[in-house]
Amino acid sequence: MSIAIHRGKYQLAKTSKPSLAIACLIAGGCGMFQGVSPKPGPHDTRTSYHDTVGMTISYPEVERIVSEISEAAYDSTEPLVHEDPSSLPTLELTLTEAVQMAVQQSPVVRELGGTLVSQPAFAGFTSTIYDPSLAHANPQLGVEAALAEFDAQFAGGLFWNKIDQPQNVEGLVGQFTPQVLQGTGASYQSELSKRTAQGGTFALRHITNYDRNNRPFRRFTSDFVGWVEAEWRQPLMRGAGTEFNRIAGPRSMIGQYNGVLIARVNEEVALADFEVSVIRLVNDVEQAYWELSAAYRVMEATLKGREAALQTFQYQEVRLEVGAGRSDEEAQAKSQFYQFQAQVERALSGPEGLYALEQRLRYLLGMPPADGRLIKPISEPSDTRVVFDWDSALNQALTRRVEVRRQRFNLKRRELELVAARLNRRPQLDFLGRYRWRGLGDNLIGRSDSPPLDNLFGAITGGDYQEWQAGMELTFPVGLRAASNAVAHARLSLSREQALLNETELRISHNLAEAVRQLGISHSLLETNYNAFLADLRQVDVLRRRYRDGTDNINFLLQAQRQVVVSEVDFYRSIAAYNLAIRDLHREKGSLLAYNGVTLAEGPWASGAYRDAYENGRFLSTRPNPAAVQMPQPVSSGPFDPSAPQDTQQPLIEEWIELPAGGIDDADDQATASPSDRSTATAATAVPAEPITLE
């Protein structure tokens, strides 16, 4: 059964292919309703405004701010593809310089594989240096917004009105009763109120009313009536106390808390999120740097393999020309040369080639995709075996990891919310006190020696008419169901955050154990690949002599040439993997920023803020007996610097490998260098083993 449209009416029609009928309807789109649209008329004689304006795609007109980053996007040259790296000018860069450029280059914290362009909807999740300040200046959830609830408030209003009302009355003999009430009036109200940290409210009000009408029996044709009153409203149960107002705020609702302490926790969480993004940036910079360093060495190894294959091919050509060689051997040598040529091209311009990895590092450093230069890493990777003390590393990981600190702040927020929820589960009992000075006068303002009721302000300041009111107000929902439910919700939220904290700590311990394991196996693979490389070099020398002596087949030589390139590539990649394993261990134990010398610091304040702080500080003094002062439980234990030096046991460097001049060298200097020179360990002593030297 399908739905069809015929002559502007919906009808049911049978069809043997329901799916086909539905597909036809869907394919028709909105056009299938053309049969019921109005017929063309006079209104169709001119083009609609929306045909050219309302339905077109527009381009935004915004002010373009030129910066170093925007210039890098516009000033890029043609990317490198087949250029010879040896003919290009190089930009020598150490890892320390690369990290400094990455963290100082742009307000946006970059990351590899980001979604800023590919998924613009997630641009709001991209971290910038403005995020902590945005959290602080949030007009709804920030610290200043929470403090603004305690600011003094002023309210005032001035109104005039005209009265002209017919009256349903009948005049008596000898009396004047107006048939129409006519008059002019005005009212002025002003109030200054202030909320205290204990939840109380103080208010000072001034009200003045002016009235002029034709009613009889009035002493004055027009008069001013008004009063000045002071009011104090103090919650005694729900909403009372400094603790509740610091957590929930003075205007909080059940289950909604936005006090100063909650806003402070939100700001700390934003700072932790920013720190996470900086750690991720530094992690990506090291990743790109060591991968580029390995790409250079892989390129050199592949070039050496191609040169060896070319020499073998040329030697075989000469033998074939003089009649001493075989055509199949010459074809095999030629095939291997082109195989190495393809490897060189992939190592140069492939997806994981030299130029692609160099451009990846360029993005993290905020540089153009290409500028005619080639970045060349000059920091020598370390091949020194580094052993960290497990207990010290585990203690650091569970203390210094930003994820633990962030989750602890979330747990602190739930603890505060539980306190506020329990304090909310009470009736609303308020004490109300009001004192009023009244007055009435023919004029608004008069002389001090004027007769009684001559002016309003004279009557008020004279204090002849005073009123007061005192009492209590009690309101609460019977059963306190919503407040009790909020307490249950706060308890469950607290249990959930505690469970997440426990799980976070467990996961961190597992990740640290995996990082330690990878560190050990990476160095073992480094030694193994190095020894395999030495063996393959000796194998090539032996097979080359035997081949040229005619005692062996060319296939063994070609296979050995391929194997020595594979071994050399594996060796250099294992060196990069070992240095990345050291990075991973520092990341897992929360010391990556300190390892790279990155410090998080607040930017400078405005000049006026320093002056205000100095002026206010002149009126502050230390308490003579701080221990006797009752203070609420603190939110945090004090400042924490993630880049500060760590109090930890020095790791033991067991041994090192001395590599050939063309490979990795200066490992000894790298192991004993200062942290600013990119050491792989914080130890000052080393126990060298028997060095392994490449012949």
Q: Among 69-83, 570-584, 631-645, which stretch is predicted with the lowest mean pLDDT?
A: 631-645
Q: CA dist 1 to 6, 13, 15, 328, Å?
A: 15, 6, 6, 72
Question: Residue 108 — very low, low, confident or very high, per pLDDT cuts 50/70/90?
Answer: confident
Per-residue confidence (pLDDT) for residue 422, from 0 to 100: 93
| Mean pLDDT score across all residues of the chain | 80
Question: Residue 676 — very low, low, confident or very high, per pLDDT cuts 50/70/90?
Answer: very low
Per-residue confidence (pLDDT) for residue 174, from 0 to 100: 52
CA distance 598 to 642: 9
> How big is the chain, counted in residues?
695
Per-residue confidence (pLDDT) for residue 12, from 0 to 100: 42
Q: Hey, what are 117's tokens?
A: 């362009």
369 exposure class (CB count in 10 Å sphere: 0-12, 13-18, 19+):
middle
| Residues forming beta bridges with residue 2, ordered by sequence position | 13
* Residue 429, helix vs strand vs coil: strand
Task: Look up residue 455 and give its DSSP letter.
Answer: B
249 exposure class (CB count in 10 Å sphere: 0-12, 13-18, 19+):
buried
The mean pLDDT value for 333-357 works out to: 90
Neighbours of 167 (CB within 10 A): 10
Question: Residue 218 — very low, low, confident or very high, per pLDDT cuts 50/70/90?
Answer: confident
Locus of tokens 């003045």: 208
Backbone angles phi, psi at 247, to 5 degrees: -90, -55
The mean pLDDT value for 600-607 works out to: 80
More confident residue, 408 or 552: 408
* Residue 153, helix vs strand vs coil: strand
Cβ–Cβ < 8 Å for 564, 533: yes
Which sign does the torsion angle of CA 452, 455, 457, 460 carry? positive
Per-residue confidence (pLDDT) for residue 121, from 0 to 100: 53
Cβ–Cβ < 8 Å for 468, 435: yes
Q: Residue 491 above 90 pLDDT?
A: yes
Per-residue confidence (pLDDT) for residue 152, from 0 to 100: 93
The amino acid occupying position 366 is: G
Task: Look up residue 688 and give its DSSP letter.
Answer: -
Residue 81: CB partners within 8 Å, gap ≥ 6? 349, 355
> pLDDT tens, 400-420?
899 999 999 999 999 999 999
> pLDDT tens, 206-215?
999 999 988 8
CA distance 451 to 457: 13
The 3-state secondary structure of 45-97, one letter per residue: CCCCHHHHHHCCCCCCCCCCCCCHHHHHHHCCCCCCCCCCHHHCCEEEECHHH
CA distance 83 to 75: 20
CA distance 207 to 649: 73
Q: Residue 556 above 70 pLDDT?
A: yes
Q: Among 25-39, 343-357, 483-497, which stretch is predicted with the lowest mean pLDDT?
A: 25-39
CA distance 416 to 400: 23
The mean pLDDT value for 108-135 works out to: 68
Backbone angles phi, psi at 2, to 5 degrees: -135, 165
* Residue 151, helix vs strand vs coil: coil
Pairing of strands 652-653, 466-475: unpaired
User: Which residues in 74-110 are b (16+ Cβ under 10 Å) and which e?
Assistant: eeeeeebeebebeeeeebebebeebbbbbbebbebbb
Q: Among 51-60, 252-261, 311-320, 382-391, which stretch is predicted with the lowest mean pLDDT?
A: 51-60
| Residue spans per domain, the chain | 2-39, 143-168+177-264+421-483
CA distance 574 to 523: 8
Q: Residue 639 above 80 pLDDT?
A: no
Residue 677: CB partners within 8 Å, gap ≥ 6? 96, 670
CA distance 206 to 229: 7
DSSP 490-517: HHHHHHHHHHHHHHHHHHHHHHHHHHHH
The 3-state secondary structure of 181-205, one letter per residue: EEEEEEEEEEEEEEECCCCCEEEEE
Per-residue confidence (pLDDT) for residue 31, from 0 to 100: 45
CA distance 168 to 147: 56
CA distance 327 to 333: 10
Task: Look up residue 693 and give its DSSP letter.
Answer: -
Q: Residue 22 above 90 pLDDT?
A: no
The mean pLDDT value for 333-345 works out to: 89
Question: Residue 632 — very low, low, confident or very high, per pLDDT cuts 50/70/90?
Answer: low
Q: Hey, what are 608's tokens?
A: 């006026």
Using alpha carbons, select from 476, 474, 471, 470 the residue that is nearest to residue 429.
474
The amino acid occupying position 480 is: L
Q: Among 297-301, 475-479, 486-490, 549-553, which stretch is predicted with the lowest mean pLDDT?
A: 549-553
How many Cα atoms occupy the beta-carbon half-sphere of 178 within 13 Å? 12
Per-residue confidence (pLDDT) for residue 504, from 0 to 100: 93
pTM, entire model: 0.76
Neighbours of 332 (CB within 10 A): 19
Radius of gyration, CA atoms only, the chain: 41
Per-residue confidence (pLDDT) for residue 413, from 0 to 100: 93
Per-residue confidence (pLDDT) for residue 408, from 0 to 100: 93
